[in-house]
A and B are shown apart, each in its own frame.
Chain A
Amino acid sequence: MGTRVALALCVVASCTLIGKSLAGKARRRVTALKQIADGLRNLRVNVVTMFIPMRDSLLRTDCPLLNMIGERMGEGMSAGEAWMACKPAARRNGGICDALTAADFRILDGVFVKLGQSERETQDNLLSESLHELERSVDAARAKADEADRLYVTLGLLVGLMLALIVI
């Protein structure tokens, strides 16, 4: 009997952890969006206040995605072209942006394609609006992540309990 109870407890714990890991993607989306928003905030200072050329501005941020775009610009591409070149790798499973949604990519497309193409005032507006949109996405993603956390953990727990009952 003791062995069965121990096994049942293990099953409950495992199912709960599986639930938590399923909720992880939503949490990773929040982290990725926050990182990009922080990067764009740095980028805005570099561009609008310090007039640093785009490639150096991107490389000076702490955001891996922006750094990646900056690296590609070194091959003679515009920021938009560099983003399009980086996108498949970033989007791939395990890539920097694998947790982002189509709506998130639409925001990123909107900002990266126009980066560096206009005067300071227009760049300022572009970056401000994109940041605003990203911040809204971060809030929504955070709420979704909390919801997913609760849902998957509860589901995991319930499935675990059911399995435990069967085992016992």
Chain B
Amino acid sequence: MDVIDRLKSLLPPHTAAALEKRRAAVREVRLRAGMPAQLVAFDGDALCSEIISAEKLRNILAALMDFSLYSRENELAQGFFTLSDGSRAGVCGRVSGAGSDGARLTDIGSICVRIARPRQGSADALMSTIDPGDGVRSTLIISPPGMGKTTLLRDVARQLSVRGRNVVVADERHELAACRQGVPTIDVGPRTDVMDGCAKRVAIRLLVRGMAPDVIVTDEIGDAGDAETLADAARCGVAVVASAHARSFDDLIHRPELSSILDKGVFEYVALLAGAPGRISEIRRLGAEGGRTPVWERA
């Protein structure tokens, strides 16, 4: 059962019908206690007619968490949890205490379900750059949120794997492979190993040491420590394909965490998704030395 069918079974009837009607277009379902559901598509959004009560919202949340709140505790502390098909449910509510591992959310009043849509072939346009035949080129994929970075990364992992590369996926948020009991539920290729639910810097270290990969694929880099970990992996001769939030190439080099990763010379190419979800608007090659001001070249 995919996330839309699951939500349909939990939502009031008219809202479920509206969701079914917009099934192909909808990319987010936003639920707020005491408010109607909001269905967000690429071409706009719609508010449904029925109000979602606080109790209904609690029931939906419990069902989405498989009635196992304890198993999502660490994810909830980060403000989201990942569903079994790789879709992500962001939550918002009252923070009753903040520890070192994140906030403790109680009285959750809003849920935003971002629907995962694995699309085989979405990385076709990028593959000749990433894998021209004589080795994998480390590539950073950037875009604003909601432009399909994760979908693209998944397909890059799958295609590299199909081409005979040993791929490892450091899937901190369970979004790339949506593993269930250690087994990916989304096709990420026959030669792909996934370490999920683990901080990227830990996962990458373990994967490089233990799995002898050709390529590391990871999502949403930019935390402190990512630069060093990725540089270590690159020094071990492992190519890195990763994604990061940035609106443009300028935005990328002006963000200190990301520019420090570029400084380390980890990536050879940067691809920008813009204009429409999944659309690669430009690919640039970094200068040979990396450096604080990268030399952009159209690839």
Contact = CB atoms under 8 A, between A and B. Distances in A.
Interface of A: 47-48, 51-57, 73, 76-79, 115-120, 122-123
Interface in B52-81: 62-63, 66-71, 73
Given A56-B181, A117-B62, A78 B70 contact: no
A79 B63 CA distance: 11
25 contacts: A47-B68, A51-B70, A51-B71, A51-B73, A52-B71, A52-B181, A53-B71, A54-B66, A54-B67, A54-B68, A55-B66, A57-B68, A73-B67, A77-B67, A78-B62, A78-B63, A115-B67, A117-B67, A117-B69, A118-B69, A118-B70, A119-B69, A119-B70, A122-B70, A123-B70
Contacts, number: 49
Name B's interface SS: helix
Nearest to A118: B69
Contacts of B69: 116-119
A123 to B, nearest CB: 5
A56 B181 CA distance: 10
A70 B73 CA distance: 21
A77 B59 CA distance: 10
B2 to A, nearest CB: 14
Contacts of A53: 66-68, 71
Contacts of A79: 67
Contacts of B181: 52, 56
Contacts of B70: 47-48, 51, 116, 118-120, 122-123
Contacts of B68: 47, 53-55, 57, 116
The residue in A52, A53, A118 that gathers the most chain B C-beta atoms within 10 A of its C-beta is A53
B195 to A, nearest CB: 16
A141 to B, nearest CB: 30
A81 B298 CA distance: 59
A92 to B, nearest CB: 26
Nearest to A51: B71
A56 B67 CA distance: 11
A7 to B, nearest CB: 61
A73 B68 CA distance: 11
A163 to B, nearest CB: 57
B71 to A, nearest CB: 5
B9 interface: yes
A122 B69 CA distance: 11
Interface in B17-51: none
A76 B66 CA distance: 8
The 6 closest A-B pairs by CB, nearest first: A53-B68, A120-B70, A54-B68, A78-B67, A116-B67, A53-B66
A48 B70 CA distance: 8
Nearest to A123: B70
Nearest to A54: B68
